[in-house]
Structure 1
Amino acid sequence: MSLQEKKDRIKMKKCCFVCLRGGHMAKSCKSFVKCPICENKHPVILCPSLPSNKKPETEVVVQRTDPSVAMAIHMCSGEVLLQTLLVRLRSENGKVSRVVRLVFDTGAQRSPVSNIVRSSTASQLKYPSVGQEWVRKSLFGGAVTNGRIHYKYKLRLESLDGSVKRIMEVLEEPEICGELSRVPRGPWLKELAGKSIFLSDFTSECPDIEILIGSDYYGSVIKGKVVQLACGLIACETLFGWTLSGCIPRQTENCAMLVTSLLASDWNPSELWNLESLGIQDPVESLSKEERDSEAKQHFLKTVTRSEDGRYSVSLPWTSGQDQIPNNRSIAQKRLETMSSRLVSSGNFKIYDDIIKSWEQEGIIEVVPQAELELPAHYLPHRAVIKEESKTTPVRPVFDASCKGKNSPSLNDCLEKGPNLME
């Protein structure tokens, strides 16, 4: 509607031009209403300075409420990595936390806030709004969105190990951007491991971007250490961990050479539908994975043993012979304390405790001697999965071998998976 159409509609409904309620006129309205644009006494939809009320002929106005920042150009691209990582987002009272996926976008430039959180994320953690802002966004190609009110929040961000904590002021947005690629498998992972660089956003279970950090906070969280890999990717260290960005290298030379060789030599026409002859096969990194899988299988066959009671055991297949992983006792103990308090509050602590004691009686687990507690060791944090509808196992422990500390790998990162034998 134009400004005049809005006024006519309010007159027809016999409502106040200040609070938009019926039963009185604007001159007798006692409501405290202040326009955030011109600061006069009227609602923002009746402000003459409102862009939608002006409607200049030279301006292109688009309606969009989904991807609203410079990230829109990357939504369909799976060949370029952006700076993403995982962080822990904690509620205002500190009792509830979530691991979310974050992206750095230096193209997001707006004062005073260029940082965004998904509306659903802020709602789930019950963040109270600390204000509102009227925002219009300038997109690629010169398009400008219609302005709308955004709620403002103060987020409590933490690194996954809890060593770094920051409070950031952000605006809410229903959707930040489309799906962004995570770091795929490739030779760059081995190169990163050789430099003691470990990524958090590698096999993330939360693919959606829930937080965007723009230019105003970007400089304060970048440590300044940048490592350029042989493949051209760039690793950058931040307060919340390492990120990897750049164009993912494509290896297609082998396929092209194979097809050329096939067409230039004597060949059987039946080979045209042979996929391997056409070069449709795994890339180089997949071949190296096959070699690793073969080594893991041979390792299993060499080390598997069976005890007198019929139990099988096998030594752990360490990657590259590295069997030293960091001591994460503090992380495991912190998780244990948090989980215990939740079990007590939900009334399931005794059930969980009985399961652990029964394992000890059956010889599945044993108490670590006091003298060995100070030795270098790696701990598996565990949590309770509660399924009230299950009659047999309403509460069961689940162990987390993906737990990693700051700049250190998890147990899963240090072990070979081996071949998939399900088929």
Structure 2
Amino acid sequence: MVADMHKFVNNLKLVDNTSNSGNAEAVLSSLTSSVKVKTNTQNTVLLQTVKAWAVGPKERKISRCLLDGGSQRSFVHRDIVRALGLPVVRQETLNLHVFGSTSPVVEKRNIVRVQLENVWNTERKIEIDAVETPEVCTAVIKVPTEPIQAEIKKRGLQLGDFPLEGANEQELQMLIGADYYWQAVTGKVQRVTDSLVAVETLFGWALQGPVTTSSVIDTTCMHISLTEDTQLSKQLFAFWEVESLGIKINHQKAQRTQKLCNISNNLKENSQGQYRLPQTLCM
């Protein structure tokens, strides 16, 4: 990934010194940011993930499940067990084999019972006994991207794994292993591409296979904030005043000139040759 971020901040202060009441200040601030992020095209492999209602005696919750025919047992996250109050039906000593390990881990685990239901049709359901575990999977298993979601929708299929507001989209709460896998799938398969297939399950269609993802983000935004007061308004008025004529009128001088003209027109000479100014025009 190559990332380049640039920020430019400019603050311009306009001060009016023509008022005797003190300097009034207006601040014009502009912020321009440009962010460019480029990621190389890469392949990721989608696994069969779905969302289903997990139902227990205390509660029901939408949970993300991985359908994995390569696991001999099904597993459920400890947090789901506690939140739903799932009953412990028995305990078993298990030999847990992990990839890369030379010997299995022997542990005694609780086996709990949980009912899984289709999110849109609760009549489509399955009850399973699963091993309680502190962690189902730490790997990042992505939700199908929007273009893939659109393609599945165009085919008239209901995608089983979908964005859920306020949830961690990549976290798995349950794994349905080979002990229940063929009860959860119907056997129907549709080929989306040469390598990507859709598998119908009780909870919607699940996708499996490699997909190509790439993204380029190039955004530029500009924010301008103006704090204005009466002094700034006076400045703007003076600036724009008869701008098209290229002149600026001095209103105070114009008023004084007009007053002098009025005085000249209203002067009256008396019998002694003196001029008197009417009281109403006295300055």
2:47: which partner in 1?
82
2:106 to 147, 155, 170: 147
1:175: which partner in 2?
135
- The question of whether the paired residues in 1 share the 8 Å contact of 2:93 and 2:109 is answered with yes
| CA deviation map 1:5-26 (0-9, x unaligned) | xxxxxxxxxxxxxxxxxxxxxx
1:131-142 alignment, distance < 5 Å? 131-142=90-101
Distance (Å, rounded) in 1 between the aligned partners of 2:45 and 2:182: 22
2:114 maps to 1:160:
no
Distance (Å, rounded) in 2 between the aligned partners of 1:200 and 1:216: 20
- The question of whether the paired residues in 2 share the 8 Å contact of 1:176 and 1:210 is answered with yes
1:145 shift after superposition: 3.7
1:17-96 alignment, distance < 5 Å? 79-92=44-57, 96=59
1:221 shift after superposition: 1.5
| CA deviation map 1:206-249 (0-9, x unaligned) | 43111101112111221111111136321110011111111112
- The question of whether the paired residues in 2 share the 8 Å contact of 1:231 and 1:249 is answered with no
Distance (Å, rounded) in 1 between the aligned partners of 2:133 and 2:146: 32
After the TM superposition, list the runs of 4 or more consecutive aligned residues in structure 1 that deviate by more than 3 angstroms. none
- The question of whether the paired residues in 1 share the 8 Å contact of 2:96 and 2:104 is answered with yes
1:135 shift after superposition: 1.0
1:97: which partner in 2?
60
2:205: which partner in 1?
242
Check 1:174–1:78 CA distance in 2 against 1; reply closer, same or farther (3 A cut): farther
Distance (Å, rounded) in 2 between the aligned partners of 1:240 and 1:198: 9
Structure 1 residue identity aligned to 2:180: Y
Which is bigger in relative contact order (C-alpha 8 A, separation at least 6)? 2
SS, match of residue 81 in structure 2: helix
2:188: which partner in 1?
225
SS, match of residue 141 in structure 1: coil
1:142 shift after superposition: 4.5
1:163 shift after superposition: 2.1
| CA deviation map 1:362-421 (0-9, x unaligned) | xxxxxxxxxxxxxxxxxxxxxxxxxxxxxxxxxxxxxxxxxxxxxxxxxxxxxxxxxxxx
1:140 shift after superposition: 1.6
1:78 shift after superposition: 7.6
Percent identical = 28
Distance (Å, rounded) in 2 between the aligned partners of 1:281 and 1:181: 19
Check 1:171–1:281 CA distance in 2 against 1; reply closer, same or farther (3 A cut): closer
1:250 shift after superposition: 4.6
| CA deviation map 1:117-137 (0-9, x unaligned) | 011110111122111011121
Distance (Å, rounded) in 2 between the aligned partners of 1:165 and 1:79: 30
Check 1:78–1:86 CA distance in 2 against 1; reply closer, same or farther (3 A cut): farther
Structure 2 residue identity aligned to 1:230: T
Q: Indicate the structure with greater strand content.
A: 2
TM-score (normalizing by structure 1)? 0.38
- The question of whether the paired residues in 1 share the 8 Å contact of 2:97 and 2:105 is answered with no
> What is the aligned residue count?
172
1:143 shift after superposition: 2.8
1:130: which partner in 2?
89
SS, match of residue 227 in structure 1: strand
Structure 2 residue identity aligned to 1:137: L
- The question of whether the paired residues in 2 share the 8 Å contact of 1:136 and 1:144 is answered with no
2:74 to 115, 120, 125: 115
2:185 maps to 1:215:
no
TM-score (normalizing by structure 2)? 0.56
1:106: which partner in 2?
69
1:184: which partner in 2?
145
1:271-420 alignment, distance < 5 Å? 281=216
- The question of whether the paired residues in 1 share the 8 Å contact of 2:43 and 2:212 is answered with no
| CA deviation map 1:36-90 (0-9, x unaligned) | xxxxxxxxxxxxxxxxxxxxxxxxxxxxxxxxxxxxxxxxx98111100100011
- When the two chains are superposed, the root-mean-square deviation of aligned CA atoms in Å is 2.3
Distance (Å, rounded) in 1 between the aligned partners of 2:131 and 2:99: 21
